[in-house]
């Protein structure tokens, strides 16, 4: 198979590219990435010389280039991860999120449609797999309920609205044209190579350097967390065995309040750096809550477990230990990606709130 993985130089994408390149040497994996601030080819240095790997720098919004790539590489499958994903950025710049997440997805869908419909076999053996987020479902109360595949869409931020729209386009291409599509909605990911605008790598870095830890509101918002390697495993399973036109939720059954995660991070970083555990609790700084901040997310991934046999391999305590150790061992990587655009983004989002 010839497979394009969009956003392949980003956090989740790089783990998916690495898994597919190493696990399927008979496949040709085309890593497609625009290399914006969150895309980094360092994330894929260990596979860049593999014979079944090709990197293409391109913008998914460029329809002519997407169609040319489909034809040049005779693409059989698309795993679509490329997206603007940081909620704070979407609040400040919703147009960029609409362009990339909605029109970029539409560009890929139309390029795939035109190319695949030109083939004698048309859609046979083809697959368009769209990775989405649990945020499209809105928010849950503290009542034990979970997001299921039947949960009504109710996005509350420009980011989640853009992802909800792209999900609808993907399903519409199946219903209108018969394109073999799959959509998955995943909970919060954590692990190596995550760009440090997100909570866990940002706070690990700040704790290490004894910088303030800006916590929205009282830190009572709850998220379901999944180790990124487990998400990559789920994507592999669903791409090969998932049912066409289905939606699968991917979650860790692992809910944590933000403030509790921050306490775990402080204790873990302090311990691994040889400091007294909890010595840096005074770094916590409560700031004005984010606009439209969803209270609680929690994913029910029972369908994925029962149909395809997937479940998370790591408990959070083990995963967070591995994650903290990775960032502490890769301070040079962190230093390189936390310059320039990152620092301006950090200043805009957290200072002065």
The C-alpha angle 10, 334, 231, rounded to 5 degrees, equals 35
- Cross-strand pairs, 130: 80, 183
Asked if the model's pLDDT at residue 17 lies above 70, the reply is yes
CA-CA-CA-CA torsion sign (200, 204, 207, 209): negative
Question: What confidence score (pLDDT) does residue 136 get?
Answer: 98
- What is the separation, in whole angstroms, between the first and last Cα of the chain? 49
Question: What confidence score (pLDDT) does residue 315 get?
Answer: 85
196 phi and psi angles, rounded to 5 deg: -80, 40
Asked if the model's pLDDT at residue 350 lies above 50, the reply is no
- Residues 305, 306, 307, 309: what is their CA dihedral angle, to the nearest 10 degrees? 50
Contact indicator for 228, 189 with CB cutoff of 8 Å: yes
- What span, in angstroms and rounded, lies between the C-alpha atoms of 44 and 316? 25
Q: What is the 3-state secondary structure (H, E, C) of 233-285?
A: HHHHHHHHHCCCCCEEEECCCCEEEHHHHHHHHHHHHHHHCCCCCCCCHHHEE
The percentage of residues in the chain with a pLDDT greater than 90, rounded to a whole number, is 90
- What span, in angstroms and rounded, lies between the C-alpha atoms of 12 and 71? 26
Cα 235 to its chain centre, rounded Å, is: 11
The pLDDT tens digits of the residues spanning 22-54 come to: 999 999 999 999 999 889 999 999 999 999 999
Question: What confidence score (pLDDT) does residue 62 get?
Answer: 98
Cα 289 to its chain centre, rounded Å, is: 23
Region of 94 on the Ramachandran plot (φ > 0 left; ψ -120 to 50 alpha; else beta):
alpha
Is this structure's pTM higher than 0.85?
yes
Contact indicator for 224, 171 with CB cutoff of 8 Å: no
- Cross-strand pairs, 91: none
> What value does the mean pLDDT take over residues 107-136?
98
- Cross-strand pairs, 79: 5, 129
Active site residues: 134-135, 159
The pLDDT tens digits of the residues spanning 139-191 come to: 999 999 999 999 999 999 999 999 999 999 999 999 999 999 999 999 999 99
Asked if the model's pLDDT at residue 349 lies above 50, the reply is no
Question: What confidence score (pLDDT) does residue 291 get?
Answer: 86
Confidence of residue 348 (pLDDT cuts 50, 70, 90): low
The pLDDT tens digits of the residues spanning 249-297 come to: 999 999 999 999 999 999 999 999 999 999 999 999 999 988 888 999 9
The token pair that represents 295 in the structure block: 């209270």
Question: What confidence score (pLDDT) does residue 343 get?
Answer: 47
The pLDDT tens digits of the residues spanning 306-346 come to: 999 999 998 888 999 999 999 999 999 998 887 755 445 44
The pLDDT tens digits of the residues spanning 202-232 come to: 999 999 999 999 999 999 999 999 999 999 9
């Amino acid at each position: 198979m010839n497979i394009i993985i969009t956003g392949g130089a980003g956090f989740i994408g790089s783990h998916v590219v690495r898994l597919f390149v190493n696990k399927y040497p008979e496949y040709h994996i085309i890593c497609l990435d625009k290399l914006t601030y969150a895309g980094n080819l360092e994330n894929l240095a260990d596979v860049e010389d593999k014979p079944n790997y090709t990197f293409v720098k391109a913008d998914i919004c460029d329809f002519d280039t997407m169609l040319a790539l489909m034809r040049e590489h005779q693409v059989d499958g698309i795993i679509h991860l490329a997206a603007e994903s940081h909620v704070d950025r979407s609040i400040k710049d919703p147009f960029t999120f609409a362009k990339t997440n909605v029109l970029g997805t539409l560009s890929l869908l139309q390029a795939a449609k035109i190319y695949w419909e030109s083939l004698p076999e048309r859609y046979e053996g083809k697959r368009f797999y769209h990775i989405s987020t649990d945020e499209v479902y809105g928010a849950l109360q503290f009542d034990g309920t979970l997001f299921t595949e039947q949960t009504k869409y109710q996005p509350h931020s420009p980011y989640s609205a853009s992802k909800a729209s792209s999900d609808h386009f993907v399903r519409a291409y199946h219903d209108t044209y018969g394109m073999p599509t799959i959509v998955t909605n995943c909970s919060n990911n954590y692990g190596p190579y995550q760009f440090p605008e997100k909570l866990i790598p940002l706070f690990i870095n700040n704790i290490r350097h004894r910088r303030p830890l800006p916590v929205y509101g009282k830190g009572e918002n709850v998220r379901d967390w999944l180790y990124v390697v487990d998400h990559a495993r789920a994507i592999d399973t669903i791409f090969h065995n998932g049912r066409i036109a289905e939606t699968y939720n991917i979650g860790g059954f692992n809910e944590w309040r933000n403030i509790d995660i921050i306490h775990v991070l402080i204790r873990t970083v302090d311990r691994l750096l040889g400091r007294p555990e909890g010595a840096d609790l005074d770094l916590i700084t409560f700031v004005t809550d984010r606009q439209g901040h969803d209270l609680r997310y929690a994913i029910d991934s029972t369908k994925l477990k029962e149909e395809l046999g997937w479940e998370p391999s790591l408990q959070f305590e083990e995963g967070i230990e591995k994650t903290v150790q990775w960032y502490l061992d890769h301070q040079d990587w962190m230093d390189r990606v936390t310059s320039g655009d990152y620092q301006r983004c950090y200043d805009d989002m957290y200072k002065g709130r």
